């Protein structure tokens, strides 16, 4: 895989690199994306029945069971070469990871994540009083995405636990959003990796970086709305593109 010398020079000289990641960065770990036509979650499941507070209020067991199925898939998955390349790139430069993903695969690859804009699968809280809590011990065993499971009850008020993710119509966690904005202020090279750039307000981040003068690089096998803004479009799976970029960057450095 060839990379332009201009891109490699920008990577070498960047003072602060941001990786803005979406579901595609975890796809090669076996975690389904949302909007991919064949295997995306929204091709098989109805978002309005699963990913809104109204859906949970209507049918908590349907929603809890679906998220337990997804949590089990993440527990069984491993970080892939894309997660590992991002962690390696942070070894000798300043890197901030801002992710829309609710999995912990960046962390398990050795990265510190600056912001989880859409929350965490593994941090439930009470739907009624908001008390944060943990999942009961043991691995969930829903048979498939359609298995209903009654959510555990809050120890304080008895209300149902809900997944710690951000549903449609909900605001993003304030501290994560502020951390992302603070990191963005000094970012001079942003990689947008594996996101369709469709979900607001997170999707605005690469555009804001570009308007501030940051170089924007997109890593995605498909075209997205970001193509027009990105300075470089690296067309391919992140698990191939990012390790190749890391290797090319190291070769360039050692050639000097």
| Phi, psi torsion values for 43, nearest 5 degrees | -80, -20
Q: What is the distance between the alpha carbons of residues 123 and 198, in angstroms, rounded to a whole number?
A: 25
x/- binding map, residues 80-119, to Zn ion, per CB under 5 A? Answer: ----------------------------------------
Q: Are 135 and 123 in contact (CB under 8 A)?
A: no
For 50-208, strand residue ranges (E) read 95-99, 115-116, 125-126, 161-162, 189-193
166, interface contact from ligand BJW, Zn ion, none, CB < 5-8 Å by kind: ligand BJW
Closest to ligand BJW by CB, 98 vs 154, is 98
Asked if 153 is part of the footprint of Zn ion (rule: CB under 5 A), the reply reads no
x/- binding map, residues 116-145, to Zn ion, per CB under 5 A? Answer: ----------x-xx-x--------------
- Pick the stretch among 73-81, 151-159, 177-185, 234-242 that binds Zn ion (CB under 5 A): 151-159
Q: What is the distance between the alpha carbons of residues 64 and 69, in angstroms, rounded to a whole number?
A: 9
Exposed/middle/buried for 229, CB within 10 Å: 0-12, 13-18, 19+? middle
Whether 135 is a known active-site residue: answer no
- Cα torsion 128, 134, 138, 143 to 10°: value is 40
Residues 6+ apart with CB under 8 A from 187: 16, 17, 18, 96, 209, 212, 214
104, interface contact from Zn ion, ligand BJW, none, CB < 5-8 Å by kind: none
Q: Which residue is nearest to ligand BJW (CB)?
A: 24
Closest to Zn ion by CB, 24 vs 151, is 151
Candidates 83, 118, 135, 254; catalytic one? 118
Q: What's the maximum distance between 2 C-alpha atoms anywhere in the chain?
A: 64
Residues labelled as active-site residues? 118
Site of interaction with ligand BJW (CB under 6 A): 22-24, 27-28, 33-36, 40, 51, 100, 102, 118, 165-166, 168-171, 194-196, 198-200, 219-222, 224, 237-239
């Amino acid at each position: 895989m060839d990379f332009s010398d201009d891109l490699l020079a920008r990577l070498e000289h960047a003072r602060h690199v941001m990786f803005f990641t979406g579901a595609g960065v975890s796809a090669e770990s076996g975690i389904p994306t949302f909007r991919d036509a064949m295997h995306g979650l929204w091709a098989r499941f109805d978002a309005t029945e699963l990913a809104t507070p109204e859906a949970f209020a209507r049918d908590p067991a349907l929603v809890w069971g679906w998220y337990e199925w997804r949590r089990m898939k993440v527990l069984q998955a491993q970080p892939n070469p894309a997660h590992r390349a991002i962690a390696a790139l942070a070894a000798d430069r300043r890197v901030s990871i801002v992710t829309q993903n609710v999995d912990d695969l960046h962390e398990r690859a050795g990265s510190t994540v600056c912001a989880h804009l859409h929350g965490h699968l593994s941090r439930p809280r009470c739907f009624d009083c908001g008390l944060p809590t943990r999942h009961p011990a043991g691995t969930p065993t829903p048979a498939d995405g359609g298995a209903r499971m009654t959510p555990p009850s809050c120890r304080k008020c008895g209300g149902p636990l809900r997944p710690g993710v951000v549903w449609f119509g909900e605001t993003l966690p304030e501290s994560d959003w502020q951390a992302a904005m603070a990191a963005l202020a000094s970012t001079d090279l942003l990689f947008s990796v594996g996101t369709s750039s469709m979900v607001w307000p997170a999707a605005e981040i690469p555009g804001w970086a570009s308007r501030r003068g940051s170089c924007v690089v997109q890593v995605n096998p498909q075209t997205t709305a970001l193509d027009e803004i990105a300075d470089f479009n690296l067309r391919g799976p992140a698990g191939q593109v990012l390790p190749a970029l890391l290797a090319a960057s190291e070769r360039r450095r050692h050639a000097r």
